[in-house]
Amino acid sequence: MPHNGQEAALLRRELEMLMSERQAILRVVGAATALIASLDSKRLPVGAVEAADMVATSINYLSEETLQDALAAVHAEIEEDSPAA
């Protein structure tokens, strides 16, 4: 049964690679989320607003848990807009 040991090692390496890639993707998503949240769309060129909207729409498809993982990966918090006093 040495073949099973080789398969297990191969699967372990593949899983480690996927988890590492997930962390990298979470960092990108977290950074993009923080960037989008900090933008003032009234001051951006139309092309930048369209690109930001495309990113924001993609981010909105993520589960809350994944989004929280992404923000945690870059140590970011999104502040909710407070109503003007």
Segment 31-65, tens digit of pLDDT: 999 999 999 989 999 999 999 999 999 999 999 99
Residue 77 is predicted with a pLDDT of 78
- pLDDT-derived band at 80, boundaries 50, 70, 90: low
Please state, in angstroms and rounded to a whole number, the distance separating the CA atoms of residues 29 and 5. Answer: 36
- pLDDT-derived band at 12, boundaries 50, 70, 90: very high
Average pLDDT of the chain is 89
Q: Is the pTM of this model over 0.75?
A: yes
Q: Which amino acid is at 13?
A: R
The count of other CB atoms within 10 Å of the CB of residue 53 is 12
